[in-house]
Amino acid sequence: MKKKKNWNLIIGSLMTGCMILFMLLGLFYTPYDPEAMDASSKLAGISSAHLMGCDNFGRDILSRVLKGSGTTLFVAAGTVAIGTLVGIFIGALTGYYGGILDEVLMRIIDALFAFPSILLALVFISLIGPGKYNVIVALGIAFIPSFSRIVRSQFLYQKNMDYVSSAKLQGASAFRIMFVHILPNTLPVLSSSIMIGFNNAVLAEAGMSYLGIGVQPPDASLGRMLSEAQSYLVTAPGFALFPGLIIILMVLGFSLLAEGISHAGD
Amino acid sequence: MLEIKNLNIEFHDHLVPETVVHDLNLSVEQGEIVGLVGESGSGKSMTALAVAGLLRRHDMKKTGQILFEGQNLLECGRSELRKLQGSEISMIFQEPMTSLNPVRRIGWQVEEALKLHTELGKEERRARALEVLSQVELQDPERVYRAYPHELSGGMRQRVMIAAAIVCRPKLLIADEPTTALDVTIQAQIVRLLQKINRESRVAVLFISHDLSLVRQLCSRVAVMQNGYLVEAGNTEDIFRNPGEEYTRQLIAAIPKIERGGKEGNAT
């Protein structure tokens, strides 16, 4: 029987690959200085000099999108890293040990879970102030509950498997059983939730920057640019269009990749 | 070497405490194979798990003593127990399909006990793992070493489990119905393999089974359990020839026999 091609995986990884290349390019090369203002080319349209036009301060949009997608990806990666690492730790402990520890930690997680993660991040931001790194911390904390839930349920299921008993019998410590024996078995589930989490983080960062509490000017970020562009939607549509397009491509690429990975695991 | 004295195991996870093992006394000497038989629910697996140190739950009470070379396993701390597990006492389970970690290579899993209990380097561990893999009569140990569990058959996996159990040269191997999930030809091979390992490395085996014909083949002594009580214990041949208890007699009578000429007798 011929295996059906996993188009989700192929297209998803292509798109994600392109976006990562785009971001890497932005780290080393932008056609103009993304923060250099030029009054003469204010809200300039698409031209050979400015491939995506210019914004309300005459800054080159292509340069800012290149730089901004890097910022957005960086924030998303940081957020997911915090959420995943802390989530794995909490999920592993609660799932593996159960008992009082599980009850206490999970009730705290439930309380956090009751708020939408963007609202939770808003609360943290109002406590610690805006800025790129604070956004990572705030969103990271807001992402912990969902990751711990996923990891916990996986550990609850895996800890009763016979291979865990045989690892115990070989004299492995609880720590070793959790992170060396069980954790790799949760990866199929964990990896697709990481991809989905990454997506949510991209959107959350864009949302927070759009609200003006995320990445602060003059730093470029895709959400920040959208927020700045909203007064010029009619006069300079490219200003909002291109950052928006990049967000869509990024999120779509990750979604397809996540879908493709979870099918590849079956 | 192993001495179980007045072992009681009681569960407290229901309203009424439930005793699953009553006042059990059993001993295993170095290098011998002792059978522990009984029907399902007779407490034989519970006894095995208690000896292996896997019954460490808050909702159960255990009294009595399990002495392994003089050390009481019921009272020693977790870290002392861990030092024994895998190096002095090891166990193989009923279900070879799930006893191996699906995402780790066989070599990694066989080496696990070596990593935990010895100071051997990478190459030495690999050499020892290959050695035990060929000791359990796996063809092409190099290939098995690199394989994942799903690439092996049930019989091969049970051999791998045995290899992983004996890799540190333990003194006691607990085999909890190791052949139940396998088909009959493989069963016989595994039993022969256990016999060979017992002979070669003088490891004592506590063989738990409900299959009396296997026990008769393999064990020098046998203990019979019913409803948590030890009904009868002694030399295997003595018990099979002159069962002292009604329950033992019934168990022996339940062994299916191949009768010669049965076909003609039935065709009437």
- pLDDT at residue A90 is higher than 90: yes
Highest mean pLDDT among A120-129, A160-169, B12-21: A160-169
CATH of residue A125's domain is 1.10.3720.10
pLDDT for A2 equals 53
Q: Are A185 and B100 within 8 A, CB to CB?
A: no
Q: What is the residue-averaged pLDDT of chain B?
A: 87
Chain A residues at the B interface, defined by Cβ less than 8 Å, are: 99, 161-163, 165-173, 176, 181, 184-185, 187
In this complex, which of B98, B104, B113 lies closest to A170 when CB atoms are compared?
A: B113
Could you report the per-residue pLDDT of B41-71, keeping only the tens digit for each? 888 888 988 888 887 666 788 888 899 998 8
* Residue A123 vs residues A81, A119, A141: alpha-carbon distances, Å: 20, 6, 11
Average pLDDT over every residue of B257-264: 60
Q: How far apart are CA A223 and CA A206, in angstroms?
A: 4
- pLDDT at residue B268 is higher than 60: no
Chain B residues at the A interface, defined by Cβ less than 8 Å, are: 52-54, 58, 82-87, 89-91, 93, 95, 98-104, 112-113, 116-117, 161, 164
Q: Which residues contact A24 (CB under 8 A, 6 or more apart)?
A: A70
Q: Is residue A235 in a domain?
A: yes
Q: Is residue A46 in a domain?
A: no
Spell out which residues of chain A touch residue B102, defining contact as CB-CB under 8 Å: 163, 185
State the residue range of the domain holding A198: 61-264
Domain count, chain A: 1
Q: Kindly report the backbone phi and psi dihedral angles of residue A108, in degrees, each rounded to the nearest multiple of 5, phi listed first.
A: -65, -45
> For residue A59, which of A256, A196, A223, A217 has the smallest C-alpha distance?
A217
pLDDT for B122 equals 92
Q: How far apart are CA B74 and CA B104, in angstroms?
A: 32
pLDDT for B266 equals 47
Total CB pairs under 8 A between chain A and B: 63
pLDDT for B174 equals 93
A178 class by beta-carbon count within 10 Å (0-12 exposed, 13-18 middle, 19+ buried): buried
**If pLDDT is split at 50, 70 and 90, which confidence band does B89 have?**
very high
Q: Is residue A31 in a domain?
A: no
Q: Are A169 and B85 within 8 A, CB to CB?
A: yes
Strand partners, B208: B36, B176
Domains and CATH numbers, chain B: 2-95+171-258 (3.40.50.300)
Q: Is residue A249 in a domain?
A: yes
pLDDT for A1 equals 47
Q: Is A186 helix (H, G, I), strand (E, B) or coil?
A: helix
What ipTM does the predicted assembly reach? 0.82
Give B67's DSSP letter: E
* Residue A95 vs residues A27, A160, A188, B104: alpha-carbon distances, Å: 41, 11, 17, 21
| Beta strands in chain B, from DSSP E residues, in sequence order | 2-11, 18-28, 33-37, 60-68, 71-72, 89-92, 172-176, 204-209, 221-226, 229-235
Q: Is residue A164 in a domain?
A: yes
CA dihedral B246, B248, B249, B254 (to 10 degrees): 130
Q: Are B95 and A162 within 8 A, CB to CB?
A: yes
Q: Is residue A198 in a domain?
A: yes
Query: What is the least distance, in Å, from the CA of A167 to any CA of chain B?
Result: 8
pLDDT for B57 equals 67
> For residue A141, which of A94, A103, A87 has the smallest C-alpha distance?
A87
* Residue B15 vs residues B11, B12, B59, B87, B134: alpha-carbon distances, Å: 10, 7, 11, 38, 50
Q: Is residue A153 in a domain?
A: yes
pLDDT for B260 equals 63
Lookup result for tokens 């397809």: A256
Average pLDDT over every residue of B89-97: 87
Average pLDDT over every residue of B215-232: 90
Longest CA–CA separation in chain A, Å: 75
Lookup result for tokens 């340069």: A63
Spell out which residues of chain A touch residue B112, defining contact as CB-CB under 8 Å: 167, 170, 172
Could you report the per-residue pLDDT of B97-150, keeping only the tens digit for each? 888 999 999 999 999 999 999 999 999 999 999 999 999 999 999 999 999 999
Q: Is residue A53 in a domain?
A: no
Q: Are A171 and B82 within 8 A, CB to CB?
A: yes
